[in-house]
Copies of this chain bind each other. A is one copy, B any other.
Amino acid sequence: MEESQLDVFSSDLWRHSPSVDLFLASASPVSSAGTHTTGTTTTTGTTTHTDESVDTQLRRSDDTASLNNALGENALESIRRQRAQNKLIHLDPIPDFKDRSEIKPWLQKIFYPQGIEIVIERSDSAKVVFKCKASKRTKQSMWRKGSAGGPTSVNGGTEEAETPLAAQAVKRLQQGKKKRSVSPFNTCPFRVRATYSLKLKKWNIVVMNNGHSHPLKFNPESEDYKKFKNTLRNEGDWDAVRKFDELEYRAKFNLPTEPEPIPCDCGLTQEIEFFNIVLPTANSTLNSSSETITKPRHKSEISRKHKAYKEKVLNQTESDTRFQQKLDFDPDSVMSTPNLAHLQHQISETPVTTQGNINEQNLQEEIDFNNFFLKPTSGPTPHIIHEVKEDLNANLPGHLDFDQNLLDAFTMPAWTPPCEAYSTETGQDDSVRATSINSVTHYNSSPATNLLSSDMGNIHLVDRQSRPQPIDNDTSNTQSPPWGSQHDIFR
């Protein structure tokens, strides 16, 4: 409702605002925002926060909430430290989710401040896959020039989510040939994958393709965000509520809200499985796909089946009715730490870099490109690192107050202009510059070029290798050219 309103509004003025990133936020007043001043939360150490503005409220930050916030901080740090988009970021100390419905809110705490609105792409009892919410492009965005400016979109974007040119090409390719329709603005490779390990009876969360094909933008007007915030309130997670209040405030006044971008991490990326293939060039068919992480090659054994989720939990983010319940359940206690000890234990008993499906991590590889560049294209000997929190964490103060740190994460960006050396190497169109932590991804650095080259190549290349048997289909000689090579990256 106000969303569409906002769409129109912002899309009209978008072009005229130099600081477009925060325009939407400033155009729409936020309830509690403005009552806080930046950095008012003074809680540190073990002191419970006695923020004056919160006193009158019914406060109850669960121990769980506190811990979750702490874990969120760690997760955020892990993500920030990541260099290449196609590395896997294993979020290790994570809350002991009792139900899969608890995962999304936790992730939202992490990703909303980064300007990323996540939605569930797929879920079942053993897995939840998150992706960026599809942007709602406006009519204007459809007709925009290739670069600069931007329409209004829900998620990442207050700018076109993709270069319309490239987007259109994608769209066309898709439409020309049947498919479950997807808007061209919905091609972001970013994924967060939560999987439940039966063995460990524990959830694992991995961030994949930590790069975006669209600008990131924190949009407090989003319906999902409002739901999320309500959820926080219903859970009595006042730390988080306050933090997001401040975030809204900052967004409203155009203050920087995003985590500090890492200087220049662009460069050639390559998956370990494809090192035996010629490194992609701009016109290589491997180009667009080699940038994103794909399915691991080997897996362990399997079987299946859980039970109906339907009868289990009601959508947590929608039940405003639970507000009362929650409050009644644990009214005042601000800092009690009953479960905390238990959760703490669980966390500490999992080694820092190894845990859970570390195997998957190794298979997918995380490549340190600083090393990689030293030995350029020299065979399959990439330096493999584990991104999973090396120095951070360590500090797990008994309870809350991690929100301060978490907030700091996106509070003071020491912005460094992104290096474009490599992006121009593979692509000549930098109109879409990912404003994510890792600046430009090659996947998007040259969307149109990549699209065209790889798409046309796919017609032949992929067909060939995915169907090894000779194509003796009567007269339909849809030849797969002799230069076919392998890249079964997708799917």
Residues of A near any B CB (own CB < 8 A)? 142-147, 163-166, 168-182, 186-187, 189, 285, 288-289, 427-431, 446-449, 451-452, 454-459, 461-463, 466-469, 471-478, 490-491
Contact = CB atoms under 8 A, between A and B. Distances in A.
Nearest to A468: B143
A42 B190 CA distance: 63
26 contacts: A145-B471, A146-B471, A163-B473, A165-B467, A166-B478, A168-B463, A169-B463, A171-B462, A172-B461, A172-B466, A173-B176, A174-B179, A175-B490, A176-B454, A177-B187, A179-B180, A180-B181, A180-B182, A427-B475, A429-B474, A429-B478, A430-B474, A446-B476, A449-B478, A452-B459, A455-B459
Contact of A449 (B430, B458, B476): B476
A169 B478 contact: yes
Contact of A474 (B176, B431, B473): B431
Given A164-B467, A165-B467, A429 B476 contact: yes
Q: Which of A175, A288, A429, A469 has the most CB of B within 10 A?
A: A175
Contacts of A176: 173, 285, 288-289, 451, 454-455, 457-458, 462, 490
Given A180-B179, A469-B143, A478-B448, A169 B459 contact: yes
Contacts of A427: 475-476
A452 B163 CA distance: 24
A473 B178 contact: no
A473 B179 contact: no
B476 A146 contact: yes
Given A165-B476, A181-B180, A429-B476, A459 B146 contact: no
Contact of A165 (B178, B456, B461, B478): B478
Contacts of A457: 176
Contacts of A428: 474-477
B165 A170 contact: no
Contacts of A181: 179-180, 491
A478 B431 CA distance: 13
A430 B473 CA distance: 9
Contacts of A452: 459, 478
A283 to B, nearest CB: 11
A182 B178 contact: yes
Given A177-B288, A179-B179, 8 more contacts: A143-B467, A145-B471, A145-B472, A146-B472, A146-B474, A146-B476, A168-B463, A172-B459
Q: Which of A145, A179, A456 has the most CB of B within 10 A?
A: A179
Contacts of A462: 168-169, 171-172, 175-176
